[in-house]
Chains A and B, each alone.
Chain A
Amino acid sequence: MQLRRAPAAILERTSSKVCHCVSSFAIVPLLQDGKKIRLSVEGEPERRYHGVWLRHNCRCPKCLVVSSNQNIVHHSKLVDLSIKEASVDDGSVHVKWDSAKGPHSCSFDVKWLKEFDYSFPNAFDKKNESSKPIVTDTLPTIDCTDMMSSDEGLYEWLKQMNFYGASLLQNIPDHIDIEQIIKKIGNPQEHVYQLIFDVIAVPNSVDAAYTANDLNWHIDQDFFESPPGVQILHCLRFDNCVSGGETLLVDLYNTAQKLRSKYPHHFKALSEIPYSVQRIHETLETENPVSFLMRRPHITLDNSGEIISLNFCPHHHGPLQATEDKIEEYYEAFIAFSAMLDESPTKLAHRLRPGEALCFNNRRMAHSRNNFILNGGERHLKGGYVNIDFFRSKFQLLANKLGTGEISKNVFNSSWVTH
């Protein structure tokens, strides 16, 4: 079934009950015996709205709880429904329905109807286009004081992460700690380690990150249904004598798009074959043993084929479980994708300095680091996360508050993006 690709509905026959026709811009005739209305604005193609859709989105206080914005339309009110009357005045469309549950009426703001229009030719093109992330080969930067002291500064910081996937926060004063930075977005997100963790080389570490080794490209804690969203790595110490240890970022989205155009069969394999990600701490001396297991493809798509999540964490791979014919297909694709990440022309590398924090969308940007040698010095980062859905909410709230007119990009939180 390809719902999205079906041809647009042919206009139903117009009933004779043409209702009220005020103002120069709109007429509202009933279509298909009261199943739809047609809204015509002068100079624009017509828009159609279904009676059932309108009823479900009724704006009256009996149907929409104003204080909580909760929709309380009962399903029985959506059955055997027909529009009896529709009229337009003063920028509002007034609709009267009849149903088994009795009559009901509501007024809709024409502006609202236009915003949620779904029948207009290419109605969703603009929304779809504006949710596409932007790829960059330069790490955007922002001054910490600007970010902390005004809504505009905070918005700029959030926008860098939302649009480009990463932002380097600079000139962080000594009295500002990572928790204060995180709190500008929301509460720190829980995960299997400490809420705020230290990245520092330790012996017998529970995680490869807490060594001096280099790390493969990965996103953090991929074994959660919703892995950490924004990741903040605040540099406290990075002595000059330490060699290596640069932090690296690569855009999984950009690379996956390239994989799709260059090797469609590999893209198909990585978006169809689920692999296992696991975190098992049963044998280690740990107070709280854990045993996480998540299975899904590396790349997941919405119903229109747009990428909605990127899952990549080679060191937490569990054994692949797939039918025999898929094994080879999977590994060829996995190897090709890994190689493309290594060779990406938009890789970002940065040697963090004390007073800087690298902030990025952990769901879009895979990170890694070069191995390092302490040479008697120290390298110490503090890290923490913020939930991805909440990050998106914060960006959108602030965009609306400042009236920037911008909408959130796809943040790869698995929410469908194509309208």
Chain B
Amino acid sequence: MSSFLRAFVTNSHSFLRRTTGYTRTFSEAPAGLRVKLSADGKGLALFSGVTPEESHYHVKWLRHNCQCSQCLSSSGQKTVTADHLMRDDNIERVKLLGDKLLVEWTAHSGWFDVNWLISNHPSSNQIVARKEATPAHPTTKLPFMRYKEIMDPSNEGLYNWLYHLSAKGVCIITGVPADKEHTVKVAHRLGEMQSTVDGECFDVIAVPKEELTNIADSEVGLELHMDLQYYQSPPGLQILHCIRNDPCVEGGESTLLDGLEVVERLRETHPRQFEILSKVQVPFQKIRQKGDFPVKMEYRKPHIELDHNDQVIGINWSPAQQGTLSPHEDEIEEYYEAYTNLFKLFNDSPLIIEYRLNPGEVLSFNNRRFLHGRRPYASNGGQRHLAGFYINIDEFASKLAALSKTLGKSQPLKHVLNTSYYN
């Protein structure tokens, strides 16, 4: 009998404590739970007792994900190496103990939480997970929240805000004092401002023509676009806090559009154009020679990014930052046909939301899913001034996931279009 089994038989609990650092008590196993080791030792089958099917687990997958304290450090980091995976290519024995599964490989003994195994099965419910992760309905109505809700220390309001931003992609906060001190207070609820070529906190305000380095800082209209596409990870959340928008200012309404919805519709109506836009690389650039902070950013990627199952994981749209396409001669006409069609679909979309921001309102949206723009305006002696900042897309997703866990929420989290692959 191996030392593992001997210890297990004589005193399971002390074995576990000694060998694996496991100190918690056992919970009851799900009724009807059974485990079966394959004859060749290369895998095991788990019958959950809930569904009639059995779930298979591969020996190496199990070894890689061993939950004992030797393999998973208290920092949450794995210490399993390729050497372990190579060596432990056989399962000698398995045993269920309450809700724990003890596994003995060639040269290592460890354990798993059975519920963890069930919920992390390598191919469980992939299709369902994808569907849940994709927003089901286009957002045409703006959700509104109050400043005091998002600031509430219970974090319920903060969670709701972040959840709106994940599910609907956009949210307006009202009742925020109209000064930049409060822009910073709002930012601190979300985390650190993302530092970019535009600094951290920026102002959108018409400047004299000779100082212009960005057309946003003028009175002209802005086509629907996404900001800073010339980064690998363009800004995630965009927050625009309206400091001033005098009644005499004519125009200047903000426009917003759910890009994902339009792109998915393009897939249905013009599959070939959709394909072209996911295969032709487009250069996005920012060239600024003057000033203290010159840049020459260039990044090439297609307008639509897909994962291994052709799910949309990224959208890249910024006509004004598009550099010179260096296409292959045979794809140029098809590219322009698709590009101009999508451009038109965006601009003429019935889903465009138009909203005039009032001082004390904060417009927040996911810059990776939503396009935004602005109608042209005339100051007429007044002023329109927005203070803005960004939050990194992964920081946003992480914050929401962590908060959801802490507050015990069960709503499924949506894909935030940060180019992470679906299951």
Report, as a range, how many residues of chain B touch the other chain: 35 or more
Asked if A316 contacts B78 (CB within 8 A), the reply is yes
Cα–Cα, bound, A397→B293 (Å): 11
Cα–Cα, bound, A416→B86 (Å): 34
Asked if A331 contacts B85 (CB within 8 A), the reply is yes
For A79, A316, A319, the residue with the greatest tally of chain B CB atoms inside 10 Å of its CB is A319
Asked if B398 contacts A328 (CB within 8 A), the reply is no
Asked if B76 contacts A75 (CB within 8 A), the reply is no
Known contacts A70-B320, A331-B61, A339-B82; A296/B421 CB under 8 A: yes
> B131 to chain A: which residues have CB within 8 Å?
none
B309 CB → nearest A CB, Å = 10
Asked if B326 contacts A291 (CB within 8 A), the reply is no
A201 interface contact, C-beta 8 A: no
> A76 to chain B: which residues have CB within 8 Å?
340, 344
Contact of A119 among B233, B302, B329 (CB under 8 A): B329
B75 interface contact, C-beta 8 A: yes
Chain B residue nearest in CB terms to A327:
B58
Q: What are the interface flags for A260-288 relative to B under an 8 Å C-beta threshold, 1 for contact and 0 otherwise?
A: 00000000000011100011111110001
Asked if A71 contacts B64 (CB within 8 A), the reply is no
Contact of B296 among A124, A223, A393 (CB under 8 A): A393
Chain A residue nearest in CB terms to B236:
A225
Q: What are the interface flags for A221-236 relative to B under an 8 Å C-beta threshold, 1 for contact and 0 otherwise?
A: 0011110000000000
B82 CB → nearest A CB, Å = 3
> A8 to chain B: which residues have CB within 8 Å?
329-330
Which of B172-180, B247-255, B279-287 has 4 or more CB atoms under 8 Å from chain A? B279-287
> B422 to chain A: which residues have CB within 8 Å?
295
Known contacts A302-B281, A400-B296; A118/B329 CB under 8 A: yes
Asked if B296 contacts A68 (CB within 8 A), the reply is no
A171 interface contact, C-beta 8 A: no
A162 interface contact, C-beta 8 A: no
Known contacts A292-B394, A328-B58, A334-B85; A67/B123 CB under 8 A: no
B65 interface contact, C-beta 8 A: yes
A373 interface contact, C-beta 8 A: no
Asked if A320 contacts B421 (CB within 8 A), the reply is no
Asked if B402 contacts A282 (CB within 8 A), the reply is yes
Asked if B195 contacts A190 (CB within 8 A), the reply is yes
Known contacts A8-B330, A68-B213, A393-B295; A208/B77 CB under 8 A: yes
> A389 to chain B: which residues have CB within 8 Å?
230-232, 297, 299
> A226 to chain B: which residues have CB within 8 Å?
231-233
Q: What are the interface flags for B67-85 relative to A under an 8 Å C-beta threshold, 1 for contact and 0 otherwise?
A: 0000001111111111001
Cα–Cα, bound, A48→B233 (Å): 35
Asked if A291 contacts B232 (CB within 8 A), the reply is no
Count of A residues near B, CB < 8 Å? 100
B300 interface contact, C-beta 8 A: yes
B294 interface contact, C-beta 8 A: yes
B333 interface contact, C-beta 8 A: yes
Asked if A293 contacts B76 (CB within 8 A), the reply is no
Asked if A205 contacts B75 (CB within 8 A), the reply is yes
Cα–Cα, bound, A327→B59 (Å): 10
Asked if B321 contacts A290 (CB within 8 A), the reply is no
Asked if A335 contacts B86 (CB within 8 A), the reply is yes
Chain B residue nearest in CB terms to A123:
B326
> A273 to chain B: which residues have CB within 8 Å?
308
Contact of A67 among B191, B212, B276 (CB under 8 A): B212
> B33 to chain A: which residues have CB within 8 Å?
none
> B296 to chain A: which residues have CB within 8 Å?
393, 396-397, 400
Chain B residue nearest in CB terms to A70:
B320
Asked if A52 contacts B82 (CB within 8 A), the reply is no
Asked if B331 contacts A3 (CB within 8 A), the reply is yes
B405 interface contact, C-beta 8 A: yes
> A3 to chain B: which residues have CB within 8 Å?
276, 279-280, 328, 330-331
A25 interface contact, C-beta 8 A: no
Asked if A289 contacts B122 (CB within 8 A), the reply is no
Within 8 A of B (CB), among A235-262: none
> B15 to chain A: which residues have CB within 8 Å?
none
A402 interface contact, C-beta 8 A: no
Asked if A78 contacts B61 (CB within 8 A), the reply is no
Known contacts A68-B213, A327-B122, A416-B281; A320/B330 CB under 8 A: no
B132 interface contact, C-beta 8 A: no
Cα–Cα, bound, A40→B86 (Å): 61
B319 interface contact, C-beta 8 A: yes
Name A residues whose Cβ lies closer than 8 Å to a Cβ of B: 1, 3-4, 6-9, 35, 48, 50, 52-53, 56-57, 65, 67-76, 78-79, 116, 118-119, 123-124, 187, 189-190, 204-208, 216, 223-226, 272-274, 278-284, 288-297, 302-303, 314-317, 319-324, 327-328, 331, 334-335, 338-339, 342, 387-390, 392-393, 396-397, 400, 413-417, 419
- Cross-chain pairs A/B with CB under 8 angstroms, 28 sampled: A56-B336, A57-B325, A67-B209, A75-B319, A76-B344, A78-B336, A118-B327, A208-B77, A224-B392, A225-B394, A273-B308, A282-B405, A289-B403, A293-B398, A295-B421, A297-B308, A297-B421, A303-B302, A314-B80, A316-B78, A322-B122, A327-B61, A328-B60, A331-B58, A339-B82, A392-B298, A393-B295, A419-B326
Known contacts A8-B329, A302-B281, A320-B122; 12 further A-B pairs (Cβ under 8 A): A67-B210, A274-B308, A284-B74, A284-B75, A290-B398, A294-B418, A296-B420, A315-B73, A319-B122, A322-B123, A324-B56, A397-B295
